[in-house]
Structure 1
């Protein structure tokens, strides 16, 4: 009987031990599951944060793409050999409507049309300047070159502006001041005759530069031309009109060339503002 009791107690004890092991195992497994769940939640939150960051970057890229698409209209393009922007091309087509059709009859390309439109605008502004033996006007595409003999502007061998220069300089200033699209470069030219060196004028380089700057200063101070539109350049005797072999030819080479340069951006803005 005692032996049976021992066997029963042993069985109960073993059963209790097995149940406790299972419990511990289940607790351990439960802890692992909770740990995995916590890890999963953390990873989920991290992924959501990364996704939000990626979404923000995508939105930023889309905004940049839209901006680039808009800016693309301002990019330079080559049209019939003329480098202009898309916006300028549209503006040009609108501007051409304001130029008399007969004036545009010879245009074969958009570049031709652009040059003719600018020429028409410039010639209209140059009506008050008459050509004679001391003043010549030449227009090459969109650039106006006004050549003035030195006797119209300076005393002989000097860079001081003479009083008789006021009239022609005022006319040129009126042209430049009436058109926002125009800039102006003043070039001094001499003959090849050797100068007597002085404290301020050493050679023809000095004389040509000083004459150009004298005209620029006169245009700015006395005739109201904005200084940011002015350029002064000296050429000495290295760009003669004719050979410096006679007194008459040397006289032709002593000149001031005023180059009127249209600013294409200002030109289109000006043309579009005119009704």
Structure 2
């Protein structure tokens, strides 16, 4: 309630109490001064009340805003926490998958190095005749120059070439998880006077198929393991146009690749039924 509404009653009471006698100027002035002091104090209290009410309303608004922000942050935290848990689970699965792939690749590299060592031992007697065994990109490359396998311009394997392929097949028939890509390569000189052989494409393909037939028909390597291709003159070892470079480029390369079914299944898992 407002205090100013009581002032008339107070003044009326004071006048009534003194109605039976005449007030002196001093008493009257004191009464007026008290009234004014009480009115001033009342005004001050009312101003303070208005200020406190305004502050209270403002604080309520601020609290409502803070509560809204808190709720939003809490919702965001819960959402982020869920996403973080999911990402953590995905990361663990990926790390486990990565370890599986790394383990298979490590085994592949170990098997590739072991195969290279076996082939080098088996073909040791031919390395001075233009045969080499190397590893590139996880595969074993057995490179045989044309002079080790074929007479000049021929697609018929000679006896020395057959002996080298026999030694190679002795290893590969024990390593049944190895696929073979047999690639024929030529130099950049045009083929002339070779009858049915029209160009270097023909020569490279026919030499690759000659080696493939010998390995499958004579040495009994499973044909499903073999792919024969002709590269012509387009993948030279040495691009120089010299007799030595051309001799290096005329070759048969047998690319030995471990079967990677296990790795393929990891990278492309079968669809769930």
Pair in the same fold by TM > 0.5: yes
Q: 1:165 to 1:263 in 2, by over 3 A?
A: same
Residues 26-71 of structure 1 deviation map (CA, whole Å, 9 limit, x = unaligned): xxxxxxxxxxxxxxxxxxxxxxxxxxxxxxxxxxxxxxxxxxxxxx
Please name the residue that 1:123 is paired with: 116
Report the equivalent of 2:160: 164
What displacement does 1:78 show? 7.5
**Which structure has greater helix proportion?**
2
Aligned equivalents of 1:190, 1:246: Cα separation in 2: 14
What is the Cα deviation at residue 79 of structure 1? Answer: 7.3
Give the aligned partner of residue 228 of structure 1. Answer: 224
Paired residues of 2:108 and 2:258 also in contact (CA < 8 A): no
TM-score by length of 2: 0.56
| Structure with max Cα Rg | 2
What stretches of structure 2 of length at least 5 have no aligned partner? 1-92, 264-273
**Corresponding residue for residue 134 of structure 2:** 138
Whether contact under 8 Å (1:144, 1:260) holds in the other structure is yes
Is 1:152 the counterpart of 2:148? The answer is: yes
Unmatched tracts of structure 1, length 5 or more: 1-76, 93-108, 268-275
**More deviation, 246-255/120-129:** 120-129
Q: 1:266 to 1:112 in 2, by over 3 A?
A: closer
- Structure 1 residue 112 displacement after superposition: 5.3
Q: Deviations over 1:154-180 (max 9, x none)?
A: 010111111111111011111211111
8 Å CA contact 1:188, 1:255 repeated in 2: yes
Deviating 4+ runs (over 3 angstroms): 77-80, 109-112
Q: Structure 1 stretch 170-179 or stretch 190-199: which is displaced more?
A: 190-199
Contact 2:184-2:252 at 8 Å conserved across structures:
yes
Question: Normalization by structure 1: what TM-score?
Answer: 0.55
Distance in 2, matches of 1:211 and 1:228, equals: 19
